Structure 1
Amino acid sequence: MSSSSKKRPALGKGLSALLESSLTDITSEDLSDGSVLGSVALLPITSIEANPFNPRTHFEEDALNELKDSIATHGIIQPITVRKLGRSKYQLISGERRFKASQLAGLTEIPAYIRVANDQTMLEMALVENIQRQDLNAIEVALSYHRLIQECNLTQEQLAQQVSKSRTSITNHLRLLKLPAKIQLGVRENEISMGHARALVSIDDEQTQIEIFERVIEEQLSVRDLENILREEKNKTEEPKKKEAKPSVTHQQNDFTQDFSDKVAAKVQIKKQPTGNGKLIINFNSEVDLNRIIEILNE
């Protein structure tokens, strides 16, 4: 059997013709193994290694199998993107789901865009590409934002521009990383939504966060239900404080301030604290008035 009659891996509609077209050479920079920078080329799957910068840490098995079946039937619609590491060696920049599904489908070759990128550029490309996907969970997005800020020296404002998101969205995601690991895992596994997680961030005590998180799951509470619970809890803690903030002045103490005020011809106040301490305040209007009061008290 000639090489031209060997079965090629399944490709998307029109992609096979693109790969065989001389017009795919857009940089005119040939690599030593015959592939072309900037082009789409068929690469052996075994020559490609995973991207260590990919923020995605979880691939849903059912969705991956569905993609595998689609690839087996219809081929690769969108090529993956790789960077050249060395002779016949590449590293994924983006498209890890397609790469994994192609492996499951038994493909030996996969269409790929070949690019040159240093580690920081590759990190930015991989993170930004993945952030713009719709199937990352909120914690994966938050970790991606954090890495871009820390490792690429971006401000939140610069990051917002880079990923075309609002500054508020960036901040809300980053705040999720303050949650206990158990709650972050709950977000990853879709036990709670980002709305639930944002509400839980507002709780100061970690143990209380976890207790309410477990209640949300057990009772299948909506975000609104959770917000109502937190509002009630806040009111409970604030109500005693309001009562303690204004300890009452006794009739005897009130009579004393009135008599003392008459004696010094100035306003006199008692300021009491819940702890029992406080202040006796004598008001004066000027330096002369203060000296007058001092003379009265020294009599």
Structure 2
Amino acid sequence: MAKATKKQALGRGLSALLKDPENDIKTAEDKNADKVVGNIVELELDVIEVNPFQPRTSFNEETLRELATSIRELGVIQPITVRKLDFNKYQLVSGERRFRASKLVGLETIPAYIRIANDQESLEMALVENIQRKDLDPIEIALSYQRLMDEINLTQEQLSDRVGKKRSTISNYLRLLKLDPIIQTGMRDGFVSMGHGRALINIDDTSQQLDIYEKVIEDSLSVRDTEALVRDLQQGKSSTKKKASANPPQELSKPFQKAQQNFSEYFGAKVNVKVQKKGNGNIVIPFSSEEDFKRLKKLISGE
């Protein structure tokens, strides 16, 4: 306990050093830089801004509240990492969940490692560190790989060395980005797994991709069943047609037609309602871009 108190006091002392205009540290060669860079410093939350390079685009509210409860009881155990932007101004490199949770419980400061990095280094640090996390969904990982390749001009081989993954593994993730956006969203939301996505990517026709995706959801098909369905489709077996049409959608009744029209008007997109003989069905809302998806999300959640 004494060691922790001493360490925390040291962090506060370094924080005071950073607030002194005469000791403004801008490079690793500046006076007192060795006392700050790489050390744990208690930083005020309101001098830290979120990282625009953050690859994670969604945060589970329930797990965020659980983390907030833990922080309220035990404090922030693992420091966040920030980079210095200007005098007493910092930007997150990693640890946004800890940053958000700390704000939720009303903390004023947070322990942080300070780095001095340019935009490209910050992007690379944020992406590589986030890729190593175990709670990213397959699409988030794929997008992070793609950003590293595009924005830092890495080949798949170079990326393999940076993140410590086999080139074939990286290639499998990147191929997921060729899936229809509806299927990508289903994967992010946990309706289908990466294995399902890898099976569906072998279908070139988007409409056929979506047809089988809907069947996977409706019938709770396993990855092996999905692979067999895709294989039958590719081989042109009649059994595939029978399976695919075993539970065809019914012609919409007037109430469903009216509801479909209302949905389309509300979301500003052509919503497709499908109803099966058993009375079950699904509603498909297409989106054209990430911004369009965010717009639809707000309409659905009422935010």
TM (norm. structure 1) is 0.70
Query: Residue 229 and residue 178 in structure 1: after superposition, are their counterparts in 2 closer, same or farther (change >3 A)?
Result: same
In the TM superposition, residue 14 of structure 1 has moved relative to its aligned partner by 5.3
- Which of 32, 51, 54 is the equivalent residue of 2:24? 32
What does residue 9 of structure 1 align with? none
What does residue 106 of structure 1 align with? 106
Give CA deviations for 1:167-199 in whole Å, capped at 9, x if unaligned.
111000000111111111111111110000111
8 Å Cα contact 1:84-1:114 kept in structure 2: yes
Q: Aligned AA for 1:171?
A: S
In the TM superposition, residue 13 of structure 1 has moved relative to its aligned partner by 9.6
Give CA deviations for 1:68-91 in whole Å, capped at 9, x if unaligned.
000000111100000111111100
Alignment of 1:82-101 (within 5 A): 82-101=82-101
8 Å Cα contact 1:15-1:77 kept in structure 2: no
Give CA deviations for 1:33-55 in whole Å, capped at 9, x if unaligned.
89822221111101100000010
What does residue 176 of structure 2 align with? 176
Give CA deviations for 1:105-164 in whole Å, capped at 9, x if unaligned.
111110000110000000000000000000000000000000100111111011011101
Percent same amino acid at aligned positions? Answer: 54
What CA distance in whole angstroms lies between the structure 2 residues aligned with 1:191 and 1:170?
A: 22
What CA distance in whole angstroms lies between the structure 2 residues aligned with 1:138 and 1:173?
A: 7
8 Å Cα contact 1:13-1:77 kept in structure 2: no
8 Å Cα contact 1:38-1:114 kept in structure 2: yes
In the TM superposition, residue 235 of structure 1 has moved relative to its aligned partner by 2.5
Where structure 1 has 5 or more consecutive residues not aligned to the other structure, the ranges are 1-11, 240-299
What does residue 62 of structure 2 align with? 62
What does residue 215 of structure 1 align with? 215
What does residue 195 of structure 2 align with? 195
Larger Rg: 1
Q: Tell me the secondary structure at the aligned position of residue 103 of structure 2.
A: helix
What CA distance in whole angstroms lies between the structure 2 residues aligned with 1:13 and 1:62?
A: 34
User: Cα RMSD over matched residues?
Assistant: 2.5
Q: Aligned AA for 1:55?
A: P
The total of aligned residue pairs comes to 225
What does residue 269 of structure 2 align with? none
Q: Tell me the secondary structure at the aligned position of residue 127 of structure 1.
A: helix
What CA distance in whole angstroms lies between the structure 2 residues aligned with 1:13 and 1:54?
A: 36
TM (norm. structure 2) is 0.70
What does residue 120 of structure 1 align with? 120
